[in-house]
Amino acid sequence: MGIVLGPNRYGKAEVRVVRVTRDGGIHRIKDLNVGIALSGDMDEVHLSGDNAAVLTTDAQKNTVFAFAKKHGVGEIEEFALLLARHFVDSQPTIHHARVEIEEYGWDRVPVEDGPPGERHSFVRSGAETRTCLVHSDGTGGEESVVSGLTDLVVLNSTGSEFHGFIKDEYTTLAETDDRILATAVTARWRHRGLDADWATSYRQARKSLLDAFAGTHSLSLQQTLYAMGRRVLTEDPEVCEVRLVMPNRHHFAVDLSPFGLDNPNEVFFAADRPYGLIEGTVLDDEAPGSNSAWK
In the sheet where 129-136 sits, what is the strand order? 15-23, 26-40, 94-104, 129-136, 143-156, 181-191, 239-248, 276-283
Q: 193, exposed or middle or buried, with CB in 10 Å at 0-12, 13-18, 19+?
A: exposed
Exactly one of 27, 57, 129, 150 is catalytic; which is it? 57
User: ∠210-227-128 over CA atoms, to 5°?
Assistant: 30
Cα–Cα distances (Å) from 167 to 125, 171, 173, 248, 278, in that order, read 43, 5, 9, 19, 19
**What does 37-54 look like in DSSP terms, one character per residue?**
EEEES-HHHHHT---TTP
- Whether 73 and 101 have beta carbons less than 8 Å apart is answered as no
Exactly one of 12, 61, 86, 191 is catalytic; which is it? 12
- Cα Dmax for the chain: 77
Q: Are strands 276-283 and 26-40 parallel, antiparallel or unpaired?
A: unpaired
Annotated active-site residue 95? The verdict is no
Annotated active-site residue 167? The verdict is no
* Phi/psi at 103 (5° precision): -120, 130
Exactly one of 96, 135, 191, 250 is catalytic; which is it? 250
Cα–Cα distances (Å) from 253 to 34, 72, 221, 264, in that order, read 42, 50, 18, 8
Taking the C-alpha atoms of residue 196 and residue 252, their distance in angstroms, rounded to an integer, is 43
Q: 14, exposed or middle or buried, with CB in 10 Å at 0-12, 13-18, 19+?
A: exposed
Annotated active-site residue 57? The verdict is yes
Taking the C-alpha atoms of residue 189 and residue 178, their distance in angstroms, rounded to an integer, is 31
Nearest to 14 by CA among 30, 34, 38: 34
Instruction: Return the active site residues.
Output: 12, 57, 250
